[in-house]
Amino acid sequence: QKEVEQNSGPLSVPEGAIASLNCTYSDRVSQSFFWYRQYSGKSPELIMSIYSNGDKEDGRFTAQLNKASQYVSLLIRDSQPSDSATYLCAVKRGSARQLTFGSGTQLTVLP
């Protein structure tokens, strides 16, 4: 079992719809969770971080964390074609400084 798993996609949604991206992790001591967006040929860009159970909203983005079920999700409301990218989930375990990344979900928003 991979430490951090994401559906590779591709995930396609129409413009204006809600895109839902999911990530599960295996280590229960994980404490910090991150979503990065990566456009083709570019570097990862931080979108959201979440540290406690529940929802965290930032504009059109909502991160949801459920530590009991060991999953974290990212919702993108009113999806735009400019949201088309690969979304990477990253998890920090305990006191370690390192992040473990999932392999990413490719999202396409269709005009």
Partner 1 sequence: DAGITQSPRHKVTETGTPVTLRCHQTENHRYMYWYRQDPGHGLRLIHYSYGVKDTDKGEVSDGYSVSRSKTEDFLLTLESATSSQTSVYFCAISEEDFTDTQYFGPGTRLTVL
Looking at residues 45 to 84 of the shown chain, list those that interact with partner 1 (rule: CB under 8 A). 45-46, 49
Task: Specify whether the CB–CB gap between 7 and 104 falls below 8 A.
Answer: no
Task: Specify whether the CB–CB gap between 5 and 23 falls below 8 A.
Answer: yes
Q: Among residues 3 and 17, whose Cβ is nearest to partner 1?
A: 3
Among residues 7, 32, 106, 108, which is the contact residue for partner 1, using CB under 8 A? 32
Kindly state whether residue 21 participates in binding partner 1, applying the rule CB under 8 A.
no
Q: Among residues 47 and 109, whose Cβ is nearest to partner 1?
A: 47
Kindly state whether residue 102 participates in binding partner 1, applying the rule CB under 8 A.
yes
Among residues 74, 104, 107, 109, which is the contact residue for partner 1, using CB under 8 A? 104
Task: Specify whether the CB–CB gap between 102 and 6 falls below 8 A.
Answer: yes
**Token pair of 14 as six digits:** 């129409």
In our burial notation (b when 16+ CB lie closer than 10 A, e otherwise), range 12-29 reads ebeeeeebebbbbbeeee
How buried is 36 (Cβ within 10 angstroms: 0-12 exposed, 13-18 middle, 19+ buried)? buried
Kindly state whether residue 105 participates in binding partner 1, applying the rule CB under 8 A.
no
Q: Give me the residues that bind partner 1 (CB under 8 A), please.
A: 4, 8, 32, 34, 36, 42-46, 49, 88, 90, 92, 97-104
